[in-house]
A and B are shown apart, each in its own frame.
Chain A
Amino acid sequence: MKSRKPKLAVWKFASCDGCQLTILDCEDEFLKLASEIEIAYFPEATKKVVKGPYDLSLVEGSITTPHDAKRIQEVRNASKYLVTIGACATSGGIQALRNFQNVAQFASIVYARPDYIQTLEKSTPISANVKVDFELQGCPISKHQILEVISAFLNHRKPQIPAHSVCMECKAKGVVCVMVAKGIPCLGPITHAGCGALCPAYNRGCYGCYGPKETPNIPSLMRWWEGELGVKRQDSVRVLRTFNSAAKPFEEASTQMEKEGA
């Protein structure tokens, strides 16, 4: 039945390569993957380049330059399924912090010749540029989840990537809630599951690396932080502006809080 192996491509845009490294980090599973699919384009792993079209494209990174804005269209055109991997590709990444500032001003401070710099005013997620078939959140993505997504797409099923809170995995693991038991501010209740509650399991609050969960109620959590845990408004804003600052719910909440002031 399997006439040819499906072709997989992995693309890089503005990003740190961490999500691609997660794929390489799959090791044993990666070898199995290589026997089931043709790794047609993955410069981080192999120099070999097989021409498109591709059955599944994994896209890392956000769109920050005019050149990339054009390139992502080409990737989309060459791909049957396009899945974004990681915070950059899904929400604009840490580089989307520029979205809240004046980029020209930054460039003038950082570069000797800012006129050489061709950059867009905003770092945007892939979905703001082309149609996306699935978004895998996480900074970086989880090894277990990327394998699940690849398996799901190759078998034409829905990936088992629950969009609920980190709390659900935290509690299922039996981890004691750091916020309730220790008063440590934690973003777990508004953050998308997938990391296996890594930080709370090591006695730290969640930093929201996996971005917003489905229907997050950010104002309520922030009211509790401020009222009960004594977190300052400006610190709450900063916590929401890390890896997923431009994810819609985070962006809206932090902007609103900034407007309301201290």
Chain B
Amino acid sequence: MSARLIVDAAGPGVTVQDEGRFGLSRYGVTPAGPMDLGAYFAATRAAGADNAIEVSLGGAAFRAEGATLCVAVAGGAFDVRLDGRPLPSACLLLLAPESRLVLRAGAWGAWCYVAVGGTLDLAPILGARATHARSGLGPKPLAAGDALPFADAAPAPLEPLALTAPWLASSGASVRVLLGPQADYFAPEEIERFLNARWRIGARSDRMAYRLEGPAIRHRRGHDIVSDGVAMGAIQIPGDGAPLALLADRQPTGGYPKIATVIGADLGRLAQLRPGEDLSFRAVDWDEAVAARRDYFAAIEAGAERAPLCAEMTAESLLAENLVGGVVDARD
């Protein structure tokens, strides 16, 4: 019998993602892909997978069927439990058919990746398995009762291992941007306002865009531009002056000026912020952005470190930690 991962429960916005559906933006196809590429790679490389389930703040529960699966979890500090046993929020584990893996929003973070070692036995759509719900490409968002078939299941460690990856840590540091492509649509004092403001992630944020609440940013010469291409992390200022950070599910082209673009190394940190959380931006130049990108991808390339669960990581201490997380979680 082939191995399957059964979805026991899934909140809204739990999707299968791979690196993205690239090469077809010229036909209006959105790449989709993970919101936090660093966390995605931490999970997929630990498990030996080329795709992962992206779990949203709504949480999810899984069990294996037909075989034991090697599962890696990485992302924000989610509350991760295997048969009720609390585990580190980034870990590598063996999911036996009778076991149940439950993820809930924890101390921080908006997205968590569950990667299963082996080959996801779903035909790619336009060359990818990434889900873009809005255009109906890729697997549908997951719901209770769904089953994902896996071939060539990878071997798993008998005891869960903690994964540690510095790039997965939470940080209050400002999110770095490169100004442009349409910074010249804004007067210098409006750019200053954008860079000096404390922004809050709006409630109606999703994989397509994060709404930023704060001061209105005024355009120098109108808010309509002739549509051009939109890069991941572009910060668009529509007519109402409230910025939108355009993310994985963005439309491939857009008709509002983009004041700045979040650098690659900081996209994951932005994505992991939750509605209601604050951030600020800091402008850097191309060289600094590329230096940060080099460090970020070098760390990802080196992979997460694996360690046995340490002695102080007892159920009690983790429970205490997760109780703190539970307050933030508020079961929304």
Q: Tell me whether A and B are bound partners.
A: no
Residues of A within 8 A of B (CB): none
